Structure 1
Amino acid sequence: MSAHWAEGMRLLVALSGPAAGSFAALLADRLTRGEPVMLARSRCRSCGAPLRWFELVPVVSWLLQRGRCPRCGAPIPARLLQAELVGLGFGLGAAFLAPTPVTALLGALFLWCLLALALADLRFFRLPDPLTAALALLGLALMLAGDGTGWPLWQDRLVAALLGAFAGGGAFLALRLGYRRVAGREGMGLGDVKLMAGIGAGLGVAALPLVALLAAVSALGVAALRAWRRGRGLRRAGRVPFGAFLALAAAAVWLLALV
C-alpha cells in the first residue's frame, strides 16, 4: 500500500468518527427496539417528523438546533451528541495510534461496535446479538491483521483469537452459571458472555483480566456514587449495565496498548 493511500485511509478513519458514533447510537436504539436499521428514515421520537439531511450532520446539527427538534421543540437526547463525540475520539485514537492503516480501520470498527453495545446496554440493559456477532468477527479480523510485521504467523494469531474468545466467553459463562446456582437467580445475561467472547477474540487472553478489573472497578464506583446520591445502601443501588462497562474497558485497553 502506497504512502498516499495509507495516509488517506487513516484520515478517513479519523474523519468518520462522529458519523460512526451517530450510527452506533442508531444501531443501539433500533436493534433493541426490533426496528429496521437501514430502510427507515430517521424521525423525531416525539412528533414523528422525518429529519432532513442537514439536521443529521454529526455534532454540528445538535449544536445548531440547541439539542431540540426544530419542529416540535422536544429535547434531542444529549447521549446522541455524546456518542458522536466518543465516536470521534475512537476514530482519532485508532487512526493515529494503530501500527498500520488496515489495523486503524479494523480497530476503529471494533471500537465503534463496542460503543454501540455500550449504548444499548446503558439504555435498554440489552446486548443485541447482531452487535455481539459483529464484534466477534471484527475481533477475529483485528487479531489476524496483526501489527503489520507478519509475526507471529497468521495461524498463531488465529489460535490466539480463538483462545481469547473461548477464555472470555467461557469464564463469564462459568460466572453466570455459578451465580445462578448460588443465588438462585440470574445475575448476568448471555449477552455479557457473548460480549466477552468478542472482546477476547480481538484483544487476546492476556488482556482479559485487565478488562474485567477496569469494568468491575468502574461499575462499582458508579453504583456507589448512584447509591450515595439517592441516599441508599449499595445493595439497593439498582441494576448495573455491566456490559457497557466491559465494552468501554475493552476499548480503553486496546487504545492504551498502542500508546
Structure 2
Amino acid sequence: MPLLALTVLTTEWTEGNMALATDEAFEQSHTTGPSAQNEVVGDRRARERETWITQEVPIKILHEDVVESLHEPHCPDPDVYIILPNLMQLKSISDRFTKLASSDSKGQRSGIVVTDPAASSAGATALSTNSAPKLELSANMHGKLRLAIATDDLRIASVWSGLVNPPLDPAHITQDRASQLPSERMREAGDDDEAGWAKVRIDGKDWGRVLSVGRLSPKVVACFINETALVLYVYLPGSWNGEESCLTHLFSAYEYICKIFKE
C-alpha cells in the first residue's frame, strides 16, 4: 500500500542543564580551567531545541479523472471568525466536557427498555447517532469564545475573552464588500447580545482529535457559519521552505446534518 510521509519541524526554547557542552562552553573550559567546566555542565540558559515529527499515512492513488472532479466545499461567508486560544488547554477542557456528557448519557441509556423487537435495530441506530456527545461552540466578533455541553441533567460552559478577531485582507476584498459581510452585522451587535453569537454543535470526539495538532503550536483561525459549519484554518509554522503551511478542516454542524436528513 502506498504511504505518504508527513514531517513537521517545530522549534522551541527550553531551559535546563545541557548534557553536552556547546562550542562556547568548550572554549571557556580551556581558558579558565577545570573548575569553569563544572560550572558549564550546570548551565541553565535558554536553548533552542528542534523537534521532528514524522508520520506515515496510508494513501490511495486517484485517477486523473477523479482528481478533476474534486473541489473544496462551497460555504457561505462566515458569521464570526476568531483566533482560537491555546489548543492544548482547549483540548483538555473539551475532553473533560465530552467525558462528563458521555458518562451522563450512558446512565440515561441504562434505563431504556426496547419492547418491540422490530424497532430494536432502528432504535439502536437512533441512539448511536443522537447520544454521541455534542459540544456547542460559539463565538462573537468581540473576542469571545464559549465552549459548552448540555444534557438533560448537565449544563457546563467555559468562556474565553480577549481573543483576536483577525482583520480581513484588503487585497482580497473591497471595503464595500466587507461592509456587507455577515461578520460586520455580527460585530454591530453588543458584546453580551446573544444575537451576535454564531453557534455550532459538533461531535466532541472528532473535535478532540483535531485539537491534537496543538502539539505543533499552530495558529488556528476558526470560522463560524451559524448552525451550519465550523471551518478551521490551521497555520503550521516552520515549514521546510520557511513559509507557513495551512491545513483546512471542516466540521458540519449537527443541526445542519439533521436538516439535510429531514429534507
What's the TM-score bracket when you normalise by the shorter of the two chains?
A: under 0.3
The structure where helix makes up a greater share of residues is 1
The structure where strand makes up a greater share of residues is 2
TM-score, structure 1 as length reference:
0.24
TM-score, structure 2 as length reference:
0.24
* Larger-gyration structure (1/2): 2
